[in-house]
Structure 1
Amino acid sequence: MTSTVAPPPTETDRTAEPGPQGDRRFGLPVATCLVMGNIIGGGIFLLPASVAPFGTISLVAFGVLTLGAIALALVFGRLAHRHPQTGGPYVYARAAFGDFAGFLAAWSYWITTWVSNAALAVAAVGYLTVLVPGIGEHKWSMCLAALAVQWLPALANLAGTRYVGAVQLVSTVLKFAPLLLVAVGGLFFFDPANLGPFQATDQSAVGAVSASAAILLFSYLGVESAAVSAGEVRDPARNVGRATILGTAGAATVYLLGTLAVFGLVAHEKLISSEAPFTDAVNAMFGGTWGGTLVACAAVISMAGALNGWTLLSAQTPYAAAKDGLFPRVFETRKRGVPVVGVIVTVALASALTVYNYTAGSQRVFEVLVLVTTFTATVPYLLSTAAQIYFLASGRSDRVRPGRLVRDAALACLAFGFSMWLVAGSGYAAVYQGVLFLFAGVLVYAVMAAMKQRAAAPPAAR
């Protein structure tokens, strides 16, 4: 095998991928919506009830997670300025540490996207049954609904990045209307008596924060969305960083205000056992029972928007790796700005996992796979933050001012620590299963690296 460290970036490395400017359909607003839409999927509608048993100390965990996510977003912004190409973490890891690290980033991120897509589709069906009760009468009708939820965003992706951006913009606006209704309007109905105890468990304060954070960890996955799709963003060196920071900050604001509002609208004892906390919050604000339908509509729209964005991301990483010979060349196939083979393959894998989930009749298997995504998503985060530390420590800092250098280094170290916390919070079982997924990828890398080496060798040496 040749040297594992890539050469220093050339001027070409610092520019976006070549191609017609008309192919770049994402401006700053749509790129920001892509980040926010991917971070905020369906979890926001369940999170307040999930962390309520720990008490209002869970808001502290939210704050800590928010700081870590913003630090990670700032690091991705700086990395995208340095390498504004499609692929995000894969591009950064490969530029710093060579092909193998880049492949691990691409492989683990790809696993994360299509398993998460299957999870989002299954969760969306739960809300669809509120709107159309007949769907929930048989497992096959639920399975078909989950498949439809996955393939409709895939068709939007296959139509081109222009339609992806349009769907993302519309879904983000629509789903934020009811969320902001509770997050902002709910503060006017806020009753401190509903908050309950600050610390509702016998754990220490640090233990309670860590335990509630473990539940909230998955909620911030997606901060890298604009960086992964940098090749489709206009002026990526400028807009990717801004979109990442704005999208993460916007999602964090909705998370914190929404959770705080629900805590103050629903009595603590009721919130602990609530299956639809936002429904209970809307009912507390206005009375009646129409909140369930409103929240179900918002949840379906939210998940459809998240699936739209994640479907694009699931194809972008293997596309970037295929261009470098680390994924099969078929993933390079691209039409109307979209890696069509990547979209089709990943949605097919997610669909197969969805069918398995319904036919096996065991939710536990599926839940374990979903937990694995928390681990597999942090592998690219760790490699990306380590790449930024490498760039800065090796002197490849683009001649920035000393003050900027210190700030970038501090942010990179903070983001690295945050990523390690994500790994720890995913649990032993998830780490164990995730490592098996990574080792399966090593075999794929061995085959692709051998094929790449044979293709590069002169005929006499073959």
Structure 2
Amino acid sequence: MSGSSGEPQRRLGLFDAVVIGLGSMIGAGVFAALAPAARAAGSGLLAGLGLAAVVAYCNATSSARLAARHPASGGTYVYGRERLGDFWGYLAGWSFVVGKTASCAAMALTVGAYAWPAHAHTVAVSAVVLVTAVNYVGVRKSAWLTRVIVAVVLAVLVAVVVACLASGTSETARLDLTTGTSAGGILQAAGLLFFAFAGYARIATLGEEVRDPARTIPRAIPLALGIVLAVYAAVAVAVITVLGTPALGEAAAPLADAVHEAGTDALAPAVRAGAAVAALGSLLALLLGVSRTTLAMARDRHLPHVLAAVHPRFKVPHRAELVIGALVAVLAATTDLRGAIGFSSFGVLLYYAVANASAWTLKPHEHRPARGVPAAGLAGCLALAFALPLSSVISGTVVVLLGAALYAVRRRAWDRA
């Protein structure tokens, strides 16, 4: 029995789906993106956070309506294919798989950087192996592990917020929004911070494993997004009131620096551990999403069909899990963290641009969102993507064009056959 015709089992309820979304989002923004966003936007950091949240809300609404209409593994790959045509679905899937594979490597490297800086690459590869093994034996085990990770990270973040706001060094005057701000800087900061919000779509890519997807997915996505926005805003405000945006922009480990400045050095080890755990949680959910999109594209032969197999016992796309895990391990052993994050952000924003364009085509009887939602989401995604650092824009554009060229070659071969 090959398992290629098997189907994943619908095991996840609303709570599990929300927790997977939280595990995808909580971590990257707080522990990795705050400092570069502060460098880009200065005192406009909070404005960038708000802009990222608006774009994420539009994307969440579009994704939720599309997921309810098309509750199958693959997310925007499926939506783009069904609503816009085969090429746009393929382009979304390509952008997602390539961009999020880089994001997986970035999360693995974050684990290594916080857990054991002297051996960051070795720890990163080990983390990829561990998470791939957990995902391989079934999404239910992955969901339970994600619950633990989210609980630990939230506890650490609450402790940081309390320590900062209760300290004698906290000054609300540091929240000044009038100096060191430019429109371009705010856009770039929003693009960097959007990297942290993007995990909500992981729920949609698990469409074949969620119970009652038409009801569960539209509820889980905005709920997870709202919780994360509240957490990010609280942490950003707390850290800024202690460090100020200039010092925050120069901080290598901003939350640990804020705790130190607040006079609670004993909390620093917990913050470092929380950062590693947060990145591990993001890696866990990211690998789930990438493997499910790979499964959907392999079913349609846009990727090797051998990757479409579903394990007869564990009911997961085991070959896709192993191949993606291997690719991420190689990247984690050889690449740079900053480059991986920038490249990933560009691909992910293009992915959601296709999602919003797809949502625009929904009819009234398909419970389409208000027209302004996908329009704002599409414009926001493109604006943030091309406001990213130039190196990320160039490399991302080259890889997307390469994907388009491969599609054209494959389509020509199919037409001749």
Q: Flag whether TM exceeds 0.5 (same fold).
A: yes
The question of 1:425 aligning with 2:387 is answered: yes
How far apart, CA to CA, are the structure 2 residues paired with 1:437 and 1:113? 13
CA distance in 2 between partners of 1:322 and 1:46 (Å): 33
Q: Which amino acid is the alignment partner of residue 26 of structure 2? A: I
CA distance in 1, matches of 2:7, 2:76: 24
CA displacement at 1:94 relative to structure 2: 0.2
Does 1:224 pair with 2:222?
Answer: no
Deviations 1:297-347 (A, max 9, x none): 101110111111011111101111222232211111112232111111111
Q: Partner of 2:87 in structure 1?
A: 100
Question: Any conservation in 2 of the 1:183–1:254 contact (CA below 8 Å)?
Answer: no
Aligned equivalents of 2:284, 2:261: Cα separation in 1: 32
Partner of 2:123: 145
- Which of these residues, 259, 277, 280, is aligned with residue 301 of structure 1? 277
Shift of residue 270, structure 1, vs aligned partner: 4.4
- Contact 1:88 / 1:317 at 8 angstroms: preserved in 2? yes
Distance 1:296 1:108, change over 3 A: same
Q: Does 1:318 align with 2:280?
A: no
> Which AA in structure 1 matches 2:373?
L
Q: Is the 8 A contact 1:57 1:209 kept in 2?
A: yes
TM-score, normalised to structure 1, is 0.81
The answer (yes or no) to whether the contact 1:25–1:165 under 8 Å persists in 2 is: no
Instruction: State the distance in 1 between where 2:366 and 2:294 align.
Output: 32
CA deviation vs aligned residue, 1:88-146 (integer Å, no higher than 9, x gap): 100100001222211111111100121111111112211012xxxxx61xxxx433211
- How many residues of Structure 1 are paired with residues of Structure 2 in the alignment? 409
Q: Please point out which of 375, 379, 384 is paired with 2:346.
A: 375
CA distance in 2, matches of 1:440, 1:57: 36
Once the two structures are superposed, the pairs formed by residues 359-374 of structure 1 within 5 Å of their partners are 363=336, 367-374=338-345
- Paired residue for 1:235? 212
Q: Is 2:46 the counterpart of 1:59?
A: yes
Aligned partners of 1:55 and 1:197 also within 8 Å: no
**Other structure's SS at 2:364 match:** coil
Question: Please, what TM-score do these two structures have when normalized by structure 2?
Answer: 0.90
SS at 2:342 equivalent: helix
Which segment drifts farther, 80-89 or 189-198? 189-198
Indicate which of 7, 10, 21 corresponds to 1:24.
10
Q: Distance in 2 between matches of 1:310 and 1:288?
A: 33
Q: CA 1:368/1:304 → structure 2, altered by over 3 Å: closer, same or farther?
A: closer
Equivalent runs, 1:332-371 vs 2, <5 Å: 332-335=308-311, 336-357=314-335, 363=336, 367-371=338-342
Q: CA deviation at 1:373?
A: 1.5
Amino acid across the alignment from 2:174 = L
**Counterpart pick for 1:435 among 393, 397, 404:** 397
Report Cα offsets for 1:389-425 as digits up to 9, x if no partner.
Answer: 123xxxx33265xxxx5x5212111211221122222
CA distance in 2, matches of 1:219, 1:170: 19
User: Which letter maps to 2:228?
Assistant: A
Q: Does residue 397 of structure 1 match 2:397?
A: no
Query: Whole-Å Cα distance in 1 between the matches of residues 109 and 141 of structure 2?
Result: 24
| Equivalence map 1:81-96=2 (5 Å) | 81-96=68-83
Q: Is the 8 Å Cα contact of residues 26 and 150 (structure 2) preserved in structure 1?
A: no
Greater relative contact order (Cα 8 A, min sep 6): structure 1 or 2? 2
Matches within 5 A, 1:175-194: 175-183=153-161, 186-189=164-167, 191-192=170-171
Show the counterpart of 1:327: 303
Number of the residue aligned with 2:26? 40
The Cα RMSD (Å) is 2.5
Aligned 8 A contact 1:226 1:244 in 2: yes
**Which ranges in structure 2 are unaligned for 5 or more consecutive residues?**
none
Q: Aligned to 2:36, which of 20, 42, 50?
A: 50
Give the share of equivalent positions with the same residue, in percent.
27
